[in-house]
Amino acid sequence: MSSSNNRNLCIVSSRQGAYSLSIDGIPLHSVYDPLREAEKTAAALSSQTEAVIVVENGLGYLPLQIAEQFPKADILMIVPDSSVYTVLRQQYPELMTNFPKNIRILTPFSEATLSLFLSDHPSSNTALLIPPPVEKLFPSICTRIRALANYRRQIENTNSATLKKYGKRFSQNIKRTLPLFCAMPRTVMELKNRAIGRPTAVIGAGPTLDDHIDEVKNCRSDLILLAVDTAASVLQKHGITPDFVVTGDPQFYNAMHLFFFNAKGITLIAPLSTYFLNIRKPWREILFYASRFPGETAAAEKYHVPFLGSGGTVAATAVEAARLMNPKTVFLIGIDLGYPDGKTHAKGSFFEEKALFSGDRLNPAETQSDALLRSPLKSEAKDGNGAPILSDQRMDLYRRWFAEYAKECIRIDFRGSRIDGMTVKSRLFE
């Protein structure tokens, strides 16, 4: 009997002779035949398995069996309680065998490391194994591991659906963009440290932007501004010139956000697949990045273009770009991830003006907005004050991405949907 961090460890011989471990009275292995138990679990995995995440705080039977059955698989062994692992290594070295090279041991648990592992392997060929006893002992960590794995799967499904629908457009855009990039191979890595010690604001075109336009204008000299393409024209109509414009979606309608935008003196941050109309404007410079869509990955690797995580929305890409600049603070303005007060976009945005322009007596602009608000994907979230706010399933996915960087950002306006762990303020510099 041993103890670690107030946990009671007990090792006994199973009926078949192999040792079994229990923690706080909960057996982590079969008390009859733990080796056979591990064999059966590993045998249930698909023959197409390329990577395995196994949560293990026992004697390592399961990861060892997986490594034997899948010698070419990349295995991440997550040990939630590192103190238990240390005690087992020190007091029972004969039980803790050396693990093969294709097993990486992660202890203590790190969300960043798990996220990198997930991004390196397609979710369709990645297995997640969390034995019930381990989940019972470490419920919060196991819940977080499942959430990260599900989030990655949703991102891949979204990318796959987008590629299926717009794959041809991706390829056409890349063919038109590559000659310009090859002539002037400049990437987002040039953003490094451009904002050291300075506050930076990422501006989206959510409805709450309307109430902060004047504040942004008054604080303009104190901020480095990154505007997502949907918000760029809104700012310019109010006499605000952003330092950077970030675009992402390769579709024609996305290019329309910048169709009447005055690009002189402004830096564009764009993917290799950006719509060709975007790069024809007189930007001060264009810094390229690559998205994770399969059609873009090959070109990025060939021409050494760095990736920016999209999180499913260009606003997330803008935050990634801002982080490269090493700013003092990253403010989020107009990134509502929901429909506060039943509104979808800020006044003056392309979407709002398109609805107004195309509306008529039988199909008014209000009807078009109402159709979006009544989408089959609609959902309900909570705003910064805990009140219900209308949202949709796509934005549910985006919120999970922003939560990964919650400690690095400050959200302006409580009416946007709540992002776990993120500080919210009513005003800039309050």
Q: Looking at the chain, which residues constitute the CATH 3.40.50.150 domain(s)?
A: 34-137
Q: Which of 100-109, 195-204, 288-297 has the lowest average pLDDT?
A: 288-297
Q: How confident is the model at residue 355 (pLDDT cuts 50, 70, 90)?
A: very low
Write down the pLDDT at residue 248: 85
Write down the pLDDT at residue 161: 67
Q: Which of 9-23, 113-127, 151-165, 245-259 has the lowest average pLDDT?
A: 151-165
Q: How confident is the model at residue 393 (pLDDT cuts 50, 70, 90)?
A: confident
* Dist. CA 396–CA 375, nearest whole Å: 14
* Dist. CA 11–CA 19, nearest whole Å: 7
- How are strands ordered across the β-sheet holding 2-4? 2-4, 7-13, 19-23, 26-27
Of 174, 192, 414, 157, the closest CA to residue 322 belongs to 192
Q: Indicate if the pLDDT at residue 8 is higher than 90.
A: no
Relative to beta strand 378-382, strand 423-425 is unpaired
Asked if 60 and 97 touch (Cβ cutoff 8 Å), the reply is yes
Q: Indicate if the pLDDT at residue 372 is higher than 60.
A: no
Q: Which of 136-150, 348-362, 376-390 has the lowest average pLDDT?
A: 348-362
Q: Indicate if the pLDDT at residue 375 is higher than 60.
A: no
CATH tag, 34-137: 3.40.50.150
- Measuring CA to CA, how many Å separate 256 from each of 242, 292, 343, 366? 18, 23, 21, 21
- If one compares 380 and 209, the residue with the highest pLDDT of the two is 209
pTM: 0.67
Mean per-residue pLDDT for 66-79? 93
Write down the pLDDT at residue 62: 93
Asked if 288 and 187 touch (Cβ cutoff 8 Å), the reply is yes
Asked if 232 and 264 touch (Cβ cutoff 8 Å), the reply is no
**CA angle (123 as vertex; 118, 126 as ends), nearest 5:** 85
Of 207, 202, 188, the closest CA to residue 232 belongs to 202
Q: How confident is the model at residue 263 (pLDDT cuts 50, 70, 90)?
A: very high
Name the β-bridge partners of 246. 228, 269
Q: How confident is the model at residue 5 (pLDDT cuts 50, 70, 90)?
A: low
